[in-house]
Structure 1
């Protein structure tokens, strides 16, 4: 009987062949679209901004972005207002297969078969990525054989640099799963003594990889996350038991009461004892001009702030809540309302100094990054024990915004919008989708098109007073306006700013597409105010 010999296992090795490397400087609004042929294409952005659409997914571009498209994949690249600067690298993926020496054969990989990812890729540190590309680009046309080989080696090293960060092998997946399991262990065994080394050893992952994956999964480093779990457990014990602070600290894993107090106050802004006293019953909260966040969380403030020039936040419906006029009253007037707790954002001390408020009740200074109202809402919920309501509030708002965006996309196609704040000092134009009370709602959440003057405003500027020549260029299809009475010496003075020929010549004025909105509703960052803005827009544009 003839013996059958099993063939040796084939060895398959991938390598990459550089086809072209370009350094492109593109002007504002430049576009490139089409299929990239039978090769891979990587764009590495070194300056400017823009967007790229690959396989139906649209991604924003900025310095440090790296994107890859597989062979025969449609890609559309668009430069932003400030242009776009990038490296464009084209290459092929080849494999060498064989059963042993002398039997190898090369072949080009089919689309997607030789590279483990498509779309946006990690390329950190970006300086290392640029070092590779600058060197490869500099030597791309060398006619020296040895230099050509050196450049081929540089290109392979750059490929390895990308693959090491973006591989989709089971190895990376297994590490991530191990870190996820260790997070569940922390939640269950938070009382134990843990170090990062101990957690990494338990997961059988190198410490540096463990810390990286842990932060990707939770947004925090391991020990901060552990202390957060302990603080959350301590809050529950403070509210539901009469245990001593020492016993609670020991129970949740802090080895001494002093360290427990310090970590608790760093996290919540008040001591464990203050937390217990003020949340055993419904706290009487004073939160000047943050009342929007309280009401969204189901809390009625003990008093509502008002200002003679702006009025009160009527849109909150707090008609039975006492009003404190900051222009006429002080902390003595506030003390008559007996607040248990005071929640402030930065800048309030121009009306009542912080040290004087601190004598009335425990005072917490709320991080309030303005446009990021979600962060403020989360902070308020953690402080006030209402974390169970946050996601529902945010989910309801985002669904409302999506529904409105869909409607407005049909009714305002090709039309532009701007928002103006008008006072006796002048007419101010508010910024685009990232800054100010109005831009993130109008242009980001609702997808309305900003007027060109809005786009021309300096970055990170929330508003600017329009000079006459800019006002004459304001040919937006729709204008939303509100009046600031604070600087008016006589009633109605701010409205006189519109009694000019330049104003009456504007297209929106002629077409009666100017819509006055409530000042306190629109000059506010709260989730309820943002929801009301959506209502106002739908009322006139849907």
Structure 2
């Protein structure tokens, strides 16, 4: 029995949700189902079924006897959201959130914050939920005035999911729900974030991925089974959608590939695959934190470097820095996958890597292990830090670089995952930037209680030149220097986005500060 209004957000697998009056709704990945208060439900699913359940509460903020704000709540029974119609007639309401990746990111952040004890952290989680809820309401209410129109459009989406293997046209879909083609297309995109035919193809391609993994069917047969009448067109759309061909996708799910993934080795290794080469740099060296001592090095700064006969890859993965190293020249050597996600989206990078390498079943365990580690570390640090401020500097022979609190290699880990407090100059100078260059005058204003530093040898004319800043009076007068709260960390470990890298950042922080 649902004691309050609730949302079921399906993140994996499939199943059914049953109401007491035997009205059912199919559950699939990507669905959001609203369940009104007071309804008896049963959720059934395969072992792969995964979902969030969010209950709506009325929050009350008050000051308690300890003069600290507290948040209490009670179930919401009245004043349901605007998209709810007659619950007796329609017990479940399917909603949409676009883009789906943004929905998952918000829910992951909310979930990670559930163990927060500090009232400011609790309030931040409330704000994140309010923003998620606001987007959900806006995407499922405005511009679709009639509840009947909304229901018909949701029915159209269900039709696509159930009949993707049949010929489908936009004109037929629009006519079925009694809307003009232009109105149907506009409202469909508002709900799903995709044009109707793009949505149809996405459903077909997700199904084809499953068939490629689980069957030995010919590509022609798979194309026909999911609704493509042309194998060539299927192959082209599949590569556009996943980044690899259907045949290569299947092969990676059957056997481990020999992978070359410059500066993406962290993600590959986290999924249990050892790359055949590891990236090195003439000034920075290799990523020693990965422990790949027995893997040959490939120096990306040698712009004409080639593979030798013993380490020719079968598959190449490149991030958005490939042009800097002239790595696109290897497209003729092996199938090449280009990672389009930004570094801060490391979960998306990990999921894309797992998808093209056939390791999807490992992704959630890797993410969960990191998040459990971050939550535990955050609790330890909260007891020790008590509002003390932190900043991170990258120091070279020619430049002092301050990293921001929202983006970059370190900000999301230090200030978001671990909840450390950035010095106000970090927020003032680099709030919307990954990093900024600062001079000695600005350095003197960086009066953080704790400083993490790493040294970049790129511009050093001789060994140790990057450390000359430590001899200056401006440096010695900093509060963190005087109190002995300056911590030097490994350059390659901290100048990476991977989940292994982030985990080792947490280890370093706990070693120094907790």
Please tell me whether the aligned partners of residues 271 and 354 of structure 2 are also in contact (alpha carbons under 8 angstroms). Answer: yes
Aligned to 2:475: 503
Residues 534 and 458 (structure 1), Cα distance of their counterparts in 2 relative to 1, 3 Å cut:
closer
Aligned to 2:445: 473
Q: Distance in 2 between matches of 1:243 and 1:228?
A: 20
Residues 258 and 468 (structure 1), Cα distance of their counterparts in 2 relative to 1, 3 Å cut:
same
Question: Could you tell me which of 384, 387, 400 is aligned with 1:411?
Answer: 384
Please tell me whether the aligned partners of residues 324 and 334 of structure 1 are also in contact (alpha carbons under 8 angstroms). Answer: no
Structure number having the greater strand percentage: 1
Query: What displacement does 1:268 show?
Result: 1.9
Q: Distance in 1 between matches of 2:370 and 2:187?
A: 31
Q: How does 1:222-237 map to 2 (within 5 A)?
A: 222-237=196-211
Q: Distance in 2 between matches of 1:459 and 1:513?
A: 23
Q: Deviations over 1:299-333 (max 9, x none)?
A: 21111111121121222222322221223584423
C-alpha root-mean-square deviation of aligned residues, in Å?
A: 3.8
State the TM-score, normalizing by the size of structure 1.
0.64
Q: Deviations over 1:54-94 (max 9, x none)?
A: 93589xxxxxxxxxxxxxxx999xxxxxxxxxxxxxxxxxx
Query: What displacement does 1:478 show?
Result: 0.4
Which 5+ residue runs of structure 2 have no aligned equivalent? 1-57, 63-68, 83-136
Q: Which has the larger radius of gyration?
A: 1
Q: Distance in 2 between matches of 1:203 and 1:450?
A: 53
Question: Could you tell me which of 478, 483, 492 is aligned with 2:455?
Answer: 483
Matched, 1:494 2:466: yes
Q: Deviations over 1:420-464 (max 9, x none)?
A: 0011112211111x2111111111111111112111115532212
Residues 401 and 335 (structure 1), Cα distance of their counterparts in 2 relative to 1, 3 Å cut:
same
Residues 477 and 307 (structure 1), Cα distance of their counterparts in 2 relative to 1, 3 Å cut:
same
Matched, 1:253 2:192: no
Q: Distance in 1 between matches of 2:490 and 2:417?
A: 20
Matched, 1:361 2:334: yes
Aligned to 2:395: 422
Q: How does 1:99-498 map to 2 (within 5 A)?
A: 172=147, 186-196=160-170, 198-199=172-173, 220-239=194-213, 241=215, 243-276=217-250, 279-328=253-302, 330-333=304-307, 336-354=310-328, 356-432=329-405, 434-458=406-430, 460-498=432-470
Residues 186 and 163 (structure 1), Cα distance of their counterparts in 2 relative to 1, 3 Å cut:
closer
- Counterpart secondary structure, 1:495: helix
Q: Deviations over 1:229-285 (max 9, x none)?
A: 322333344455554433321122102223212211211223334444555421111
State the TM-score, normalizing by the size of structure 2.
0.67
Q: Deviations over 1:324-381 (max 9, x none)?
A: 1223584423564020011101222332341x20121111211131212122222222
Please tell me whether the aligned partners of residues 278 and 341 of structure 1 are also in contact (alpha carbons under 8 angstroms). Answer: no
Q: Distance in 2 between matches of 1:328 and 1:253?
A: 47
- Counterpart secondary structure, 2:280: strand
Q: Distance in 2 between matches of 1:113 and 1:275?
A: 49
Which 5+ residue runs of structure 1 have no aligned equivalent? 1-53, 59-73, 77-110, 118-161
Q: Distance in 2 between matches of 1:514 and 1:538?
A: 14
Residues 292 and 213 (structure 1), Cα distance of their counterparts in 2 relative to 1, 3 Å cut:
farther
Query: What displacement does 1:222 show?
Result: 4.3
Q: Distance in 1 between matches of 2:336 and 2:198?
A: 24
